[in-house]
């Protein structure tokens, strides 16, 4: 069939509705997924985007045409979809979502048994090839369709990671960004002693208040102001499909995903002494230091959930974290969940009797540039030039190039989709961070 092959990304499907993603394409993808996975049972959820219900219905029909018995779980977060697949042992699962992308986009995250995601290195490529060759086939018997509400069970699962009796009555501002956290978070707080101050909890796929991407500083400006106004203990923001979580301390200072990784790692190691923890190479040096000081075994990996989940399974790691706000748990089928990370941070703050800013200050002594993107035409040549500019540095090429100069280090890696280099730099002081960033950018952009 004819479709835009560019909608198939490294780990999911994303495109503009209805030009790139539409019911015809989704129905075909559904049948192809059933064919490739040989699935007998499947579960499908969706986010609140204006096109999601229509696309979900088409995808479900495609699965059923492939002979898959489908359970529709309706409006859910991505991490609750992973829970449904893992807990109820479905052969496959999918959620119609474009995560943090603007409102005109929609997408599809697909996983197989055990909540293991499909990727472009495996079955996702096979699905695309079936569509390209027009070789997806309907089964002789159409699959059945049923409905189920799994959110309460998901909340119960999330709370198995903590002792709710130990959690203190914090006042917390949460920005749902008009995304799925607006549905999920209130159900969590029904079982917590905390006071919830909700922001933008109305489900609205047009994102009328701000884009559902908390990684961008401008999108948490409202949250930061509200934390101060409310004199809250801290704040949190979730992205559109509510699988990523970001914290803001009581002074309205945002925490990077790596600092949350360090905090969660510390808590997990108190309950799992000596465990292995995975972190990606963009994370601060504070992360492996905290893991080691807490008696754990830090394992460094490249960026991307497919790499992290594989490494976690291979090492039986109890937890893994990324700078981007994805947090993975062994006892969650190695899948990521921002909500689980959130409640673990609640428990840690309760036990330490410290403000969030104090906890972070106790582990973070470094200064970071944040991610800086630069358009580069000849990426391999530019990486070689950077290596040559730091002859005394320690260099590795696990993901792009990481250059450690002692008092500062940086990683430069290419984008998967554009001719961009992404710079992340960390230094021992603000002045050195600024100076080193300027010098590295001169080389990248020169």
Predicted local confidence at residue 415, as pLDDT: 84
Expressed as residue numbers, the domain containing 400 is 367-445
Catalytic residue among 80, 99, 324, 369: 99
Residue 33: inside a domain: yes
What is the maximal distance between C-alpha atoms in the chain?
Answer: 68
pTM over 0.85: yes
In the predicted structure, residue 417 carries a pLDDT above the cut 70: no
Same-domain pairing of 130 and 13 = yes
Does 52 qualify as catalytic in the annotation? no
140-151 mean pLDDT = 98
Burial of residue 104 (number of CB atoms within 10 Å: 0-12, 13-18, 19+): middle
Note the pLDDT tens digit of each residue in 61-91: 999 999 999 999 999 999 999 999 999 999 9
| 10: confidence class by pLDDT, cuts 50, 70, 90 | confident
Helix (H, G, I), strand (E, B) or coil at 67: coil
Whether residue 416 has pLDDT greater than 80: no
Rounded Cα gap, residues 310 and 128, in angstroms:
22
Q: How many independent structural domains does the chain possess?
A: 3
For residues 139 and 208, state if they share a domain: no
pLDDT attached to residue 310 = 86
Residues in the chain, overall count:
446
CA angle 293-294-298, nearest 5°? 80
In a domain, 164, yes or no: no
Rounded to an integer, what distance in angstroms lies between the CA atom of residue 446 and that of residue 443?
A: 5
pLDDT > 80? residue 305: no
At 309 the pLDDT is: 85
The verdict on residue 42 lying in a domain is: yes
Is residue 349 a part of any domain in this protein?
yes
Beta strand 105-112 with 92-96 is antiparallel
Range of lowest pLDDT (125-139, 154-168, 405-419): 405-419
DSSP category for residue 273: T
Q: What is the mean pLDDT of residues 401-407?
A: 97
Mean pLDDT of 404-419: 90
Q: Looking at residues 8-28, what average pLDDT do you find?
A: 96
Indicate the residue among 149, 165, 196 that finishes a domain.
Answer: 149
Mean pLDDT of the chain: 96
Do 349 and 388 belong together in one domain?
A: no
* Per-residue pLDDT at 423: 97
Among residues 345, 365, 385, the one where a domain terminates is 365
In the DSSP assignment, the letter for residue 327 is E
| 140/256 same-domain check | no
| pLDDT greater than 80 at residue 439 | yes
The predicted-structure confidence for 224-272, as pLDDT tens digits, reads as follows 999 999 999 999 999 999 999 999 999 999 999 999 999 999 999 999 9
pLDDT of residue 165: 96
């Amino acid at each position: 069939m004819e479709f835009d092959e560019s909608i198939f990304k490294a780990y999911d499907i994303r495109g503009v509705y209805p030009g790139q993603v539409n019911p015809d394409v989704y129905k075909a993808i559904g049948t192809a997924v059933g064919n490739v996975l040989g699935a007998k049972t499947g579960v499908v959820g969706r986010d609140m985007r204006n096109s999601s219900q229509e696309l979900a219905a088409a995808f479900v029909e495609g699965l059923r045409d492939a002979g898959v018995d489908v359970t529709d779980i309706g409006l859910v977060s991505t991490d609750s979809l992973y829970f449904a697949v893992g807990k109820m042992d479905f052969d496959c699962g999918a959620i119609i979502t474009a995560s943090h992308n603007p409102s005109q986009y929609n997408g599809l995250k697909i996983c197989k048994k055990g909540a293991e995601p499909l990727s472009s290195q495996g079955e996702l490529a096979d699905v695309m090839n079936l569509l390209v060759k027009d070789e997806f086939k309907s089964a002789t018997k159409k699959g059945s369709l049923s409905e189920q509400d799994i959110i309460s069970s998901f909340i119960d699962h999330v709370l198995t990671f903590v002792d709710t009796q130990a959690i203190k009555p914090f006042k917390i501002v949460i920005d749902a960004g008009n995304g799925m956290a607006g549905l999920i978070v209130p159900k969590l707080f029904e079982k917590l002693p905390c006071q919830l101050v909700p922001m933008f909890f109305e489900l609205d796929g047009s994102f009328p208040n701000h884009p559902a991407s908390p990684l961008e500083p401008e999108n948490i400006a409202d949250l930061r102001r509200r934390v101060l106004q409310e004199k809250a203990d801290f704040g949190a923001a979730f992205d559109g499909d509510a699988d990523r979580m970001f914290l803001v301390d009581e002074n309205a200072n945002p925490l990077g995903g790596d600092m949350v990784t360090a905090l969660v790692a510390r808590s997990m190691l108190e309950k799992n002494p000596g465990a292995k923890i995975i972190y990606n190479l963009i994370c601060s040096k504070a992360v492996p230091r905290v893991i080691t000081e807490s008696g754990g075994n830090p394992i460094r990996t490249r960026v991307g959930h497919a790499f992290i989940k594989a490494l976690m399974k291979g090492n039986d790691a109890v937890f893994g974290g990324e700078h981007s706000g994805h947090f993975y748990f062994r006892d969650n089928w190695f899948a990521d969940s921002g909500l689980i990370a959130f409640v673990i941070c609640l428990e840690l703050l309760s036990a330490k009797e410290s403000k969030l800013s104090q906890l972070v200050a106790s582990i973070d002594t470094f200064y970071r540039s944040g991610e800086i993107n630069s358009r580069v035409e000849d990426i391999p040549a530019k990486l070689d030039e950077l290596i040559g500019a730091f002859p005394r540095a320690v260099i590795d090429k696990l993901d792009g190039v990481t250059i450690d100069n002692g008092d500062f280090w940086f990683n430069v890696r290419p984008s998967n989709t554009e001719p961009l280099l992404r710079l992340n730099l960390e230094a021992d002081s603000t002045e050195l961070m600024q100076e080193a960033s300027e010098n590295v950018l001169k080389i990248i952009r020169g």
